Structures are given as C-alpha cells and as structure tokens.
Structure 1
C-alpha cells in the first residue's frame, strides 16, 4: 500500500480531496437509487451501487495513467483529438439516442459494450486544452485578430455550434470558461469583447431561426424558454415539479438531516441520483452536510489556485485553470439549481452524481492537473524513467540490427563456400 501511495505523483491535497468526494458519493447514490428501483421498477440498489463503484474505479484508473504522462503531450493530443471530437459531435447531433425511452440527443451508444457516452464532456476537455495550447504559443509572439479568428475562435465556435442545439447549459458553460481562460491568458480585451458580442448575436440568430423553422434542425429551444419562464414566474411544469421537490427535501433536512438513507423526496425526484443529488444530501445530512460538500469543493478550488501559481510553465498554469475551474463552477451550478438560485440546467455534481461520462471526464481533467502539479524532482524522475525506456528500446533495436547483419554475413559466407566447391557453376548458369 505504501508503495502504491509513493507512486502517486502531483499535489497530495488534490488526491485527498478527490478521494474524499468519491467516498462521500457512495451513500447518497445508494440511497437515491431506490427511486429507480421501487418507483420505476428498474434494477436493484446494490446493482446501482456496484455500477457507481465501477465508474469510480475506472475514473481513478484514468487519473493514475493520465497523471503519469508528461502534460506537454496534451498539446499534440488536443490537435489529434479535435477533428475526432467534431465528427463525434456531428454524429451525436443526428443519431437521436434514447435512454430509458426518453430523448437523449446529447449521448451516443458505444457498440458491443452497451455504454452510453456524452460527447460534449469530451469536447469540453479537448477544447480547453486546445485553447491553453494556443494561448501559450502566442504569449511571446505577435499575432493579429484575423489569425486568432482562424486558429482559435473557429474551432471554438464550431464545437459550440454543434453542442448548442441539444445542450444550451453546457454550451454556455464552455463559452464562459473559454472567455475566462483567454482573459487570464492575456488575450487582448478589445478582441475578447468583439468575440463575446459575436457570440450573443449568433445565439440570437440561432434562436430566431429555430423558432421560425422549428422542423429544420433538432433543437431544444422550447425547453430553454419553458425553463426560463418557469424560473421567472410561477408557471407549473416538470421543472417546477422537480424544483419544488428539491426545496421540500432541503427544508426537511434542517440542521442535522433526517439521517443516511432516510430521504423521502428521493422517491419523487426524477433525477435524484444525478442532477438533484445535492438536495438528497441536504435532506439526509442537513445544513451541515450541504455546507460540508461546498467546503470540500472550495478546498479543491484553493488547491487548484495554489498549483496554478506554482506551475513552472505558462501552459501548465493555463491547463490547471482551464480544466480545474470548470469542475468547481459546475458544482456551484448544480447546487444553485437545487436551491433555485439558477434555472434547471442538467449539470451534475462532479465526482458525486452517478453517471459514467461525467466521472470519467472529470477524472481525466484531474489527471492532467496532477501531471502539471508534479514537483521538479518528480518530473526529472519521470523523464529519467522515460529515457531508460527509450534506451532499453534502442538496445533491442540495435540487437535486432546486429542479428540481421550476422544472418546476412552467414548467408554470404555460405554462398561463397558453395561457389568455391563448384567453380564452374556460375559459368554454366550463364
């Protein structure tokens, strides 16, 4: 065990907080899954718990293997994955997956293994790495607004346009995080203001086109309108029902909560184990439990800031900010929805809500952050280990070359011996 812990590189505080959030998630997920078992009549509580354990186990494997990789490799990976992400988003837009009989246009099913995957989550990470790479590249170089439009903003808007019809909240979050990152990356404010204005104009045009030609493309504009109307009025609909039940759950929790597994509203909240799991946590563990979760995320946010400050390269700083801050903002959005500070968005609570894609992509982002947060001696050790592997590989290649040369020499020798035994053979062959 000590050997395994010693192999964990990077910021130990982040490791501890991520493990704590994963540990906290088990009881709320197990408790909230009774909604799917007894109300909907699907699966078993133990089955959902084991499934969640499997998602977390794979997530921590992702963290481990990604944090071992030098973070500079992500520059090349972002360039390779960006075209793949665009293709996946186009496929997701038109393939029309359904999960449990409900529309799930943000998901694709992976053949043969029966796993559903949310492509926008992968696009989020790849895009943030791509933006960080571009900002690090232009830090010491002169560039024009026109060149940044082609190299930076064209990929950004292409990804956003492909996500927007099915998922406005994720589109808005990605755009906000990209704008935050380019601002921190010292991109000129006058250019950024132009881009934000263009984004608002493009969103307005999209909404007008969707309302004028509702059957021209798949979109959820009506859902956005109903959520905003419900948030700003007392109009009753499905979202209103969910928020009301979430508020009842939070009010029932009071200071100390009803106790683990004793939530009542989990039987009425449709997304009690994912989007509204925070309400279930507050109902079962009270105000203390709800503030405790918030405190853990704030500690994680603090560790991200510390690691960004300590990062030895500008690219490393941008990676931590671009991948770490969205995790915290997503958590705050999820909590804000539960207490009706924000309209219903569908954002999960990172590392706590059930769901494979959310956990895996969050873990991939944390793995990159841990790779950046390695100390200089850890980086040197990793480089030395990589050099040893390269030397071992080179020795194998050299040995193969030597053996091949020896085989060729042996063949030449045998041919020469045969030629000496039959000196007239070459003449006869002619």
Structure 2
C-alpha cells in the first residue's frame, strides 16, 4: 500500500479530496438503492448495487491512475482529432441511443460485447473543453479576430452543442456556460463573448420554433419536457417533477441538524432517482444539515485546490485545462444540490463521485486524471529545479574544497622557501 501511494504523483490534496468523496458515497448509494432493489418484483437486496458501485469506483480510480501518467500536453493534439469522433458518437446516440430507467431521452449508447451503457455527452464535454483551452493557448501569439475565431473555435463548439441539445438541454446549457467562462478567463474579447451569447439565445429560440412547427418529430420530443419543468418550477401547476421535489424537500426537512442516521432514510423508498439525481436529499435526511454542509465543503475545498493548481501551472494550456475540467465538475455538483432544495428546475445532473452510475463516474475520473497530470508535470519541474540546485551546490562545495587545498599547498611551499633561504625571504620583504 505504501508503495502504491508513493507511485501517485501530482497534487496529493486533490487525490485526498477525491478519495474522501468516493469513500463517503458508499453509504448513501447503499441506502438509496433500496427502491431500485424492489423494482420489478425484486428481493430488496441492495448488496448487488453496492458491489456494482464499488466496481465503478475502482475502475474510476484506475482511470485516474492511468491518465495521470500521460503527459497532459498529449491531450492538446488528441482534442483536435477526438472532436470529429465525438460528433459521430453523439449523432449515433441521437439515432440509436438507449432509454434507461424510464427516461424518454436517448442519451446513452450500449457498448458492444460488455453490455455497459455510456453517456456520450460527458465525453464530448471533456474533449470540447480541452479543444477550447488548446485554441486559447495557441492564439496567445497572435491577436484574436472574431472572423477567425468563428471558424476555428465557435463552429466546433456549436456543432457539438447541436448534437447534445435535442436530448439533454441541461447538459447543453452547462457546457455552453462553462465554455463562455473559459474563454472569458482566457481573455477572449468581452464584446465577442456578448455576440456569441446572443447568437446562442437566438439559436435556442429557433430550435424551439422548429419544435412547434414539427411537434410529432422525435428530434424535438424533449422540448415539451423542458417547458413543463420550467412551468412547474415557476407556477403551482402540478407535474411529475413536483412529486420528486416534494419528496426531496420532505427528506431534507426530516434530516434536521443531525439526520436520522445512516440507512434510516424513509423518502428513499419514494424518490425515483434517490441514488443518482436526488442523492443529496438522501444525504441530508440521513446525515442532517451537518452532513450536507460537509459534502458542500468538500466540493468547495476541491474547487479551491483547482484554483491553486491552475495558478501553479507554468503553461497557459495547463492553466486553462485545469479550469476547463475542474470548474464544470464543481458547478455540476452545485446544480445537483440546488435542484434538491428547489433553487433550480429538475435537470437530471448527478452529484460527481457520489451518485451511482458508471459512465458519469468514469468521465469525472478521466477529467481528474488530466488535472492531476498537469499538477504532476509542475511537480516534476519543481523537483528538477531542486535537483539542479543540489547539483550546483555540490559542485560549488567541490570547487571551494579544491581552492582551499591549493591555498594550503601554496602556503606550505612558502614556508619551505623561507626555511631554505631566510636571507632571500628578508630581502623579499
């Protein structure tokens, strides 16, 4: 175990926070999976879901370990090649995607031979953020013009979002907002950002108008759900999502300060997505306000560590990669918690590293591996500088020692000369 820990490079604090969140996730997932265990005339045994979650977490940490060994600048070129591949996967998902747990949106594809479902939008977001970071770091050498950035930056961004939007508006909005944040930090001109934001709003309005013109099209089947969720959030009109929100609020109110205790949640038996989208409500019910604030604090500390890692990065690409992959992770966690307390409409965003699920955990770990790879590179640079300083110090000591020896030899010769010819020594004076 000690040897394994020594092989972990990069920011140890990030490693620690990720491990804490992953370890904490086992109890809420084990408890909240009971309703899934009873579905379809099940036995109610949640041990299988716990083992499955353990397997997902273990694979996730292996992904972090393997990815953090790869020099992060390799992903600079991979993002450019990987973006067209992501478009093909997203298009295939829209056409042949799998519906899971009763969701009426095709967001997943079935991986052949191993029977694992995969949400392609999570991979697309990572590749897109790295692509944007690559563009912003590349254009530092020359002034950014709006005309050139439309083709080189925004066209790939809007193509990616166009493939995600029909099935998942919340993920599209999250990715678009994070891209705008990333280009703002990358010192892309604010007036251009305003134009892009306005263009995005116009494009969304046009998409909604098309859905009204072709209401029976499968391509626009999710638009009605978006409207219903917003309407139920802003009015008292009862909807299916209100049931989930009401149960989540009951769970949070039942938890009070100290919670009902691990495994003693009652609302987990009524919340349809208790182990994924609404797991934060179960955490507060079982661990109280203290547990909820504890989870929130861990995410905020992880965000603070991302800021430090970005500040320490010696290259602009490294800084933007840490921001582009780290901030969306924390923002997604905030959205999940905000939905549970009815600050936002229901979005379907999971709680990173805590909610059950395979591809969401693995893609989060993939992003964390790249971030740690950036910190590992800076750590290696610092180590090389320390070793160079040690070598320089050792060389200086060797030179000083040789000079001292030469001085001693010269003094000994001087003493001999004085002894052999005292008259000459007096004349020299």
TM range (shorter): 0.7 to 0.9
Give a deviation string over 1:64-107, Cα, whole Å, max 9, x none: 01111110000111012111100000011111422245434011
- CA–CA separation in structure 1 for the residues paired with 2:163 and 2:377: 39
Q: Does 1:227 align with 2:232?
A: no
Query: What are the equivalent positions in structure 2 for 1:369-384 lying under 5 Å apart?
Result: 369-374=371-376, 376=378, 378=380
User: Which residue of structure 1 aligns with residue 267 of structure 2?
Assistant: 265
> Structure 1: any 5+ residue segments left out of the alignment?
383-430
User: Which residue of structure 2 aligns with residue 173 of structure 1?
Assistant: 174
- CA–CA separation in structure 2 for the residues paired with 1:82 and 1:10: 27
Look up the SS of the partner of 2:343 in the other structure.
coil
| 4-13 or 216-225, larger mean C-alpha shift | 216-225
Give a deviation string over 1:303-339, Cα, whole Å, max 9, x none: 0001111111111000000000001000000000000
- CA–CA separation in structure 2 for the residues paired with 1:144 and 1:112: 47
User: Which residue of structure 1 aligns with residue 25 of structure 2?
Assistant: 25
Query: What are the equivalent positions in structure 2 for 1:219-258 lying under 5 Å apart?
Result: 219=220, 220-258=222-260
Query: TM-score, with normalisation over the residues of structure 2?
Result: 0.87
User: Which residue of structure 1 aligns with residue 336 of structure 2?
Assistant: 334
User: Which residue of structure 2 aligns with residue 37 of structure 1?
Assistant: 37
Deviation, 1:376, is 4.1
Query: What are the equivalent positions in structure 2 for 1:1-400 lying under 5 Å apart?
Result: 1-42=1-42, 44-100=45-101, 102-219=103-220, 220-374=222-376, 376=378, 378=380
Deviation, 1:196, is 0.5
Q: CA RMSD in A?
A: 1.4
> Structure 2: any 5+ residue segments left out of the alignment?
385-429
Deviation, 1:141, is 1.0
User: Which residue of structure 2 aligns with residue 412 of structure 1?
Assistant: none
Q: Is the alpha carbon distance of 1:256 and 1:40 closer, same or farther for their aligned partners in structure 2, counting shifts above 3 Å?
A: farther
- CA–CA separation in structure 2 for the residues paired with 1:171 and 1:7: 37
Deviation, 1:41, is 3.4
- Say whether the 8 Å CA contact 2:10–2:379 is kept in structure 1: no
Look up the SS of the partner of 2:352 in the other structure.
coil
Look up the SS of the partner of 2:344 in the other structure.
coil
Q: Is the alpha carbon distance of 1:140 and 1:337 closer, same or farther for their aligned partners in structure 2, counting shifts above 3 Å?
A: same
- Say whether the 8 Å CA contact 1:96–1:103 is kept in structure 2: no
- CA–CA separation in structure 2 for the residues paired with 1:376 and 1:272: 40
Give the total of aligned pairs.
Answer: 382
User: Which residue of structure 1 aligns with residue 410 of structure 2?
Assistant: none
| 142-151 or 329-338, larger mean C-alpha shift | 142-151
Deviation, 1:142, is 2.5
| 122-131 or 216-225, larger mean C-alpha shift | 216-225
Q: Is the alpha carbon distance of 1:60 and 1:96 closer, same or farther for their aligned partners in structure 2, counting shifts above 3 Å?
A: closer
Look up the SS of the partner of 2:137 in the other structure.
helix
Look up the SS of the partner of 1:99 in the other structure.
coil
| 29-38 or 267-276, larger mean C-alpha shift | 29-38
Query: TM-score, with normalisation over the residues of structure 1?
Result: 0.87
User: Which residue of structure 1 aligns with residue 424 of structure 2?
Assistant: none
- CA–CA separation in structure 2 for the residues paired with 1:258 and 1:284: 5
Give a deviation string over 1:179-215, Cα, whole Å, max 9, x none: 0000000111111111111000000000011112123
Look up the SS of the partner of 1:98 in the other structure.
coil
Q: Is the alpha carbon distance of 1:258 and 1:15 closer, same or farther for their aligned partners in structure 2, counting shifts above 3 Å?
A: same
- CA–CA separation in structure 2 for the residues paired with 1:276 and 1:246: 7
- Say whether the 8 Å CA contact 1:323–1:369 is kept in structure 2: yes
